[in-house]
Structure formats: C-alpha cells, structure tokens
Amino acid sequence: MNLKEICCESFGKRALMTIKTYKMNRVVYGTTCVTYVAQRVLKQLVMDDGHNYPLAASAVSSDMYMDDLLTGTADIYSAKQLKEQLIALFRGGGMQLHKCSSNCKELLANSELSDGDVSLKIPDETKALGLLWRPQNDSFAFSVSANVCE
C-alpha cells in the first residue's frame, strides 16, 4: 500500500531534469489524510483478520476512536479473552498495544504490552478522549476550569 508518493526534481550533470518518486510505507503525521488512513488501516485489519479474533474485531469496529480503545466486558474471563485477541490482532498488523488501563489488577499482570506503559497499580484516574476515568469506582468525570471575574 502506498501511503504517500513524493516526487522530487533533481538536475544531473547534463542539466537534464529527472524526477524521482519515493513511496512512503508509513503514515506521515501532519498530513491531511492521517485521520482517514489510521481509521482505514484499522478497518482493513478487522476485514482481513477479524474472523480469527471476533471479540477484538467487534471492539475495534465499535469502541475505537483514532488510537484510543475504550471498551469493557461483563466479567474477568471475557476481559482476558478480549485482551489476548486484541494483542494478537494488532500484532498480526505489525502494531503493538500500549498504555493499558484497567480496574482489575489481574488483567494488568503478565502483560504482553510494550515495556514501561503498563502499571500494576490501578491509578486514581486516567485520561482518555478528554474524559477522566476513575477505575476505583468505574466512573467518568469531566474536569472544568473556570475563571471567575468580579
């Protein structure tokens, strides 16, 4: 897949203009197509391998915004299965999950996520998509600051 083609003009010894085309195989951040490409890559990943990982495919299709996945399950067993499937699905696409949060220590232990991004301690709160999530009581909150004028 060609994510972006870059054409460069160069002048050789004979003063002839030659055009070289370079094909990028990574998403170039800061370009207008980045949002679309990121979402399209996830959609393609689900289309290609989602049948092997049904729980992960469902979560990625409905609970993902850009690079944040906010999802949950009814029990710890299902959560473990979902975590394993997500790791396998993204690994198959050459991606690695990181910055995992949970309100269950059992899910954070023995993590196959990237080094240094998983804490075995349940945080007081964590931010996602502009919301504060408080894992201790599994609630969401907004943080608002206001300037009071007299």
Q: How confident is the model over 10-21, as pLDDT tens digits?
A: 455 554 556 667
pLDDT digits (tens, 9 = 90+) for 67-118: 788 888 999 999 999 999 999 999 998 888 877 788 887 887 766 655 555 5
Bigger pLDDT: 122 or 87? 87
- The pTM of this model reads 0.68
Q: Using alpha carbons, select from 89, 97, 108 the residue that is nearest to residue 51.
A: 89
Q: Give the pLDDT confidence score for residue 53 in this predicted structure.
A: 96
Q: Give the pLDDT confidence score for residue 5 in this predicted structure.
A: 47
Long-range Cβ pairs for the range 65-69 (8 Å, 24+): 65/129, 66/35, 66/38, 66/39, 67/38, 68/128, 68/129
pLDDT digits (tens, 9 = 90+) for 41-71: 889 999 999 999 999 999 999 998 877 888 8
Sign, Cα dihedral of 116, 121, 124, 128: positive
Bigger pLDDT: 8 or 145? 145
Cα(12)–Cα(148) distance, integer angstroms: 65
Q: Give the pLDDT confidence score for residue 69 in this predicted structure.
A: 86
Cα(68)–Cα(70) distance, integer angstroms: 6
Q: Give the pLDDT confidence score for residue 9 in this predicted structure.
A: 47
Cα(122)–Cα(144) distance, integer angstroms: 24
Evaluate if residue 6 carries a pLDDT over 70.
no
